Structure 1
Amino acid sequence: MERKLYEAAMAGSVNTLLELRQQDPLIVERPTVNCLSETPLHVAALLGHEDFAKEILRQKPRIAEELDSRKSSALHIASQKGYVGIVKALLQVIPDKCSDTDVDGRNPLHLAAMRGHIDVLEELARAKPDAASARLIWGETILHLCVKHNQLEALKFLLENMGDSELLNAKDDYGMTILHLAVADKQIEAIKLLTTSTAIEVNAVTANGFTAWDILAQSKRDTKDWDIGELLRRAGAISAQDLQLPANELAVIQTNSVTSHENNQKHEGKKDLKGTPWNLDDWLEKKRNAAMVVASVISTMGFQAAVDPPQSPQLAASSFVVWNTIGFLASLSLILLLIIDLPINRILFAWILAWIMSLAIVAMAITYIVSIALIGDPNSSYSNNTTSAVLVWMAAVGIVSALVHISRLMVMMIKRMRKSIRRLSHIQAQDGRDYEPPIASVL
């Protein structure tokens, strides 16, 4: 009879349950009397047989309190599996059992959060709100479980509905907050949520003395590191070593971090001529692609000219070879730099590429002039006019480029001077002394 009862539970057959109940009114009592590990309700909760679970609860409500060998009730199992109908039926019978823990110290809310079952979380939190604050055996909270198991939606739900700053910044037994875990696992969306929408302590220190910034710096290199670093800097994250600095120096570091991100936001707010939001990374990537194409074309031209040079007097031919070689090597250097992608400041890298590209273009222009002189009549108006046109073009481009670079350099220097003055002013204000920038009126 007990075997038939379990077969009915596995099949979810309510009719078989009713027939067995008519044959033996105590059939539902026997599994618990015989100390079997799992009750038919456990089986129904595991397989999602909602009608069977409701019927057996109607016949014997207290069966919902029975535990298996891992101290799990049917509510634990249904919550972990995400069967919200069975969860609702169980909560009508045992609403206070949401805080009961299994052998691993996890209650039904913990299990639902680990699997990301938002609808189940909502029902459980409504029945027993305090259960969400329970800690696990290693001091972990339900928020730690959400991050560990990468359940972003469950994390959002709990943060929106709990509003507990103490739980938000809680540490496990290793001193890890949920931000530490998110950074260690490179979960960009979770980091963005925590640093922009919550009051998370971005510079909390672990038991080993590490901040979230330190964890990122020590982690294995990844393509996500730049975005994570930007989010952390925007939130004012610093290293544990910087936390030991005096208050005035610490304030300067945090101010610089915020200022850097404000500048990035200004760039991100720009739009191109088509109205598309301007992004520095996208702009640099487009420039890199264009530079690669141009460098490939120049290197091809240089190689072709080297294997089939114009026939000419020795002196002119040597000039042709020299300038053609300069342009060829410059283009190859440009291609090499674009491939290896030096780990330096993006703007500095773009400037280096621009100067090498300029050298390659100038060398190709001079090679063209020499070629005209070699293959044409030096006294003809065609050769003279062509040479003059190229020289005028080079001079005009050189003057414009010089003016642009000089103006950019001056703007950069002025901005740096202003930042230095603001930093000094901030430090003096922290020390309680008045400070009057000597050239503030000029700038």
Structure 2
Amino acid sequence: MELNRRKCLRCLWHGDAKGVQHIMYRRGLDVNAPLNAAGETALHLACGLGDEPVVRRLLRNLEADPWRLDGRGQTPLHTLAQRGFSVAVLNVLLETVGKPETTAYLGVNATATGLTAVDMAALSLARPSNNIPGGDASAAKLLFLTTLIGKLPSDQQQPVPSLSLHWAAQAADLTTIRHRLSQTGANPNAEDLCGMTPLHWAVRNHSLAAQDRVVQACAVLMSAGSKVNKRDRFGFTPLHRCRLPRVCAFLVENGADLEARTRLSNGPRLTAYDLAVRRMPLSTRLGFNRSHDDEHKMPWRTVQALEKSAAARYLLSSGPFLTDQAESCFRVYSSVITMRAAHEARR
């Protein structure tokens, strides 16, 4: 059975619809069985890849369940809104569900987060895929979000606001940001569908090489009146969304609230520090847990080990052999240290 699962995953990855059907039929693999640790089924994974032929075969020939929830309480539509962004796959899913159930299907809230597919698509739009505003990935996300909203009942539809300043902020394009603010009168606190401002979008840039430009972009937006503690619909401030250490330090220096907590309908209320700790690998997370009296406790040996590993990551970041994992660890670790030091300095 484990061998069949691996073969099915390989076929899904390569877009082999016939191979997936062969494994399901001939090898007796349940089409709605979870295939990974996240509890995702073949339909979840195919939607995440935006693979319309595989999704169509799973739904039409193998009768996969489009209502099936994964380990996080998400339907295949949620996964599509997070990672797939395929309008063709969206149409196939909704055709299978049927018109009478379309509204209910679009309104399903993920158990873990309480978010709908529209919420996830809007959040994915703000997640940088590249540094080119309006590029292919951004255009695909925007088209998917617009199409998804168009499938809602007319009384639930809302227009996608102009995002020109948001795109410029996400790319840290200082020239365009200044032009939008001074020449076109763009609102520095304009909100997208999730209530995120251009400052939220700017701090989501996760490139270490772009840190200085991101700080400058944040400075321009804040000098124009962008609010550093502005919350989106889920209670996230720009500091919650930030992963770059210098940008975190800049926000804290300019009055970012370290104690602001999220307000997701499902899940704990978290500070920016809590979120940064959760992003850390488990092996380095152990020394950063909060105690019940809300004080940070970190064994000195853990501090020394982390400082050594951070130094190694910094050296790696200066060379040509930096891996994505090393860059991510260094970025998140530095952000945690920045917020922890600022929190202790204020006490």
Q: Which has the higher contact order (CA 8 A, sep 6+)?
A: 2
Q: TM-score, normalised by structure 2?
A: 0.38
Higher gyration radius (CA): 1
Structure with more helix by fraction? 1
Q: TM-score, normalised by structure 1?
A: 0.31
